């Protein structure tokens, strides 16, 4: 997109002055010898025109620019702060009192489920536990008899095998009980229940509820989703050309929903590869607690880029035309028909980081920054006159 600027009164006066000067000097030019033809990227001015256009020159400097990068991204939550709650053995929903948005604490009951399988597991465990106690006593008794040569080694081996088998069975049933939320140490014959309490694995807020009373749920059904928003992070996308401008520990300012309130974050990790769309991921931890910042939100962020020694010019020395950026540099001084002229050449550059007053410029190869004189004021007057009035000379 072409960048335009409104003409200043100074420039309009300058343009009229130059054009009238050119028209008035046609006859004189016809009598004089032909002057040299300027290339399209060169503009020349007389001394009085330079003064009227407020042209000033300076040098290309080496500066440490921190600058900033404007990027977009989303708010995310760490995997350990996002819980999907299921019931390993399924069952019928007996009761629940929660709705999306409710706050829950770790260990709080989310719902009560019923299943005949719950009863069977408890029954099998208590039965196997009783058999194990008997088998352990038998093993101890047969071991003593074997030492007294009263019992055969074969019989002792059989008793030992039965004991180990029952012990493995009890351990397996203990794990099943733990899977459905029952503590085996607290289970007794009088405590068998068909109902199990489903508890929250983390503290946070209910994101989704997918159940209702009487519904049968299978082990793969997602019953609740819980989000802990205490530890949020940003996932930001940068273009690959900006990958060298960010590093771990840099500060970020970000905004959500077009709000003016600023939130802060710090980069904790940068991506290790460039995606197919030529973007580069950066991850930052949200440092302050913000109630209105939620996972999934879109953010506009400003990364405070690290300072580097770069070639820079005043920001007003850079002009834009046809989606390209240029600077004007002193080309040479000359004399024609007894008049002194100064030529300025328009040079395409590539902009880098900017801190407002100064902007990084990437110059063509072989450029000598020590001898170059850059137009630091009045650059847009030169560009506008070049594009609208042709050569600024008579």
Phi, psi at 382, each rounded to 5°: -65, -45
Tokens of 96: 């629940």
Rounded Cα gap, residues 318 and 14, in angstroms: 21
DSSP designation for 288: S
The per-residue pLDDT for 32 is 43
Asked if 373 and 363 count as a contact pair (C-beta separation under 8 A), the reply is no
Q: What is the mean pLDDT of each run of 10 residues along the chain (394 residues)?
A: 47 52 46 60 86 89 78 90 92 93 93 94 94 90 78 82 93 93 90 92 93 94 91 89 82 83 89 85 87 84 76 90 90 85 90 79 84 90 72 42
Give the torsion sign (CA, 151, 157, 161, 163).
positive
Nearest CA-CA partner of 180 in 167, 168, 192, 190: 192
Which of 269, 222, 276 shows the shortest CA–CA distance to 249? 269
Q: What residues does each domain of the chain span?
A: 9-65+309-389, 69-80+228-307, 116-193
Residue 4 has what pLDDT? 45
pLDDT (0 to 100) of residue 18: 53
Count Cα neighbours of 165 within 13 Å in the Cβ-side half-sphere. 8
Contact status, residue 216 vs residue 92, Cβ threshold 8 Å:
yes
End-to-end CA distance of the chain: 32
Element (H, E) at 176: helix 153-179
* CATH classification code of 69-80+228-307: 2.40.30.170
Write the secondary structure of 71-111 as one string of H (helix), E (strand) and C (coil): EEEEEEECHHHEEEECCCCCEEEEECCCCCCCEECCCCEEE
Between CA 126 and CA 146 the distance in angstroms is 30
How far is 104 from 85, CA to CA, in rounded Å?
13
DSSP letters for 224-282: EEEE-TTSEEEEEEEEGGGGGG--TT-EEEEEETT-S--EEEEEEEEEEEE-TTSEEEE
The confidence score (pLDDT) of residue 150 equals 67
Q: Is 323 left (phi over 0), alpha (psi -120 to 50) or beta?
A: left
Residue for token pair 């709000």: 259
Smallest CA-to-CA distance from 227 within 297, 299, 300, 298 is with 297
Reduce the DSSP state of residue 50 to 3 states and report it.
Answer: helix
Nearest of 57, 59, 40, 43 to residue 368 by alpha carbon: 59
Position 392 scores a pLDDT of 41
Q: Which residues pair with 75 in a beta bridge?
A: 234
pLDDT, residue 292, reads: 77
Domain 9-65+309-389 shares a fold with domain 69-80+228-307 = no
Of the candidate CATH numbers 1.10.3720.10, 2.70.70.10, 1.10.1060.10, 2.40.420.20, the domain formed by 9-65+309-389 belongs to: 2.40.420.20
Compute the chain's Rg from CA coordinates. 40
What's the confidence (pLDDT) of residue 208?
93
């Amino acid at each position: 997109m072409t960048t335009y600027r409104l003409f200043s009164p100074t420039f309009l006066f300058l343009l009229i002055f130059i054009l009238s000067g050119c028209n008035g000097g046609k006859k004189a030019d016809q009598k004089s010898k032909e002057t040299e033809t300027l290339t399209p990227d060169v503009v020349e001015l007389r001394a009085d025109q330079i003064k009227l256009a407020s042209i000033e020159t300076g040098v290309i400097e080496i500066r440490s620019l921190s600058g900033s990068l404007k990027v977009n991204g989303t708010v995310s939550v760490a995997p350990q702060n996002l819980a999907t709650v299921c019931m390993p053995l399924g069952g019928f929903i007996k009761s629940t009192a929660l709705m999306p948005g409710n706050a829950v604490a770790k260990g709080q009951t989310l719902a009560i489920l019923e299943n005949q399988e719950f009863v069977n597991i408890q029954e099998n465990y208590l039965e196997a536990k009783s058999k194990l106690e008997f088998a352990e006593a038998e093993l101890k008794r047969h071991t003593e008899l074997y030492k007294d040569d009263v019992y055969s080694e074969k019989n002792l081996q059989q008793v030992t095998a039965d004991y180990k088998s029952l012990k493995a069975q009890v351990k397996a049933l203990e794990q099943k009980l733990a899977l459905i939320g029952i503590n085996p140490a607290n289970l007794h014959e009088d405590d068998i229940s068909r109902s199990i309490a489903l508890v929250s694995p983390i503290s946070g807020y209910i994101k989704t509820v997918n159940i209702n009373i009487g519904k049968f749920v299978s082990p793969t059904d997602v019953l609740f989703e819980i989000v802990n928003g205490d530890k949020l992070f940003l996932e930001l996308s940068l273009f690959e050309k900006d990958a060298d401008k960010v590093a771990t520990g840099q500060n970020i300012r970000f905004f959500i929903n077009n709000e003016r309130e600023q939130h802060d974050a710090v980069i904790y990790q940068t991506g290790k590869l460039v995606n197919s769309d030529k973007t580069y991921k950066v991850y930052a931890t949200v440092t302050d607690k913000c109630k209105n910042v939620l996972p999934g939100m879109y953010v506009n962020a400003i990364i405070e880029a690290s300072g580097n020694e770069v070639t820079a010019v005043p920001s007003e020395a850079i002009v834009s035309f046809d989606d390209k950026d240029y600077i004007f540099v002193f080309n040479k001084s000359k004399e024609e028909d007894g008049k002194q002229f100064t030529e300025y050449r328009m040079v395409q550059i590539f902009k880098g980081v900017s801190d407002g007053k100064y902007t990084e410029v990437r110059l063509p190869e072989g450029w000598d920054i020590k001898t170059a004189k850059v137009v630091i004021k009045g650059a847009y007057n030169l560009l506008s006159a070049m594009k609208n009035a042709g050569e600024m000379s008579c």
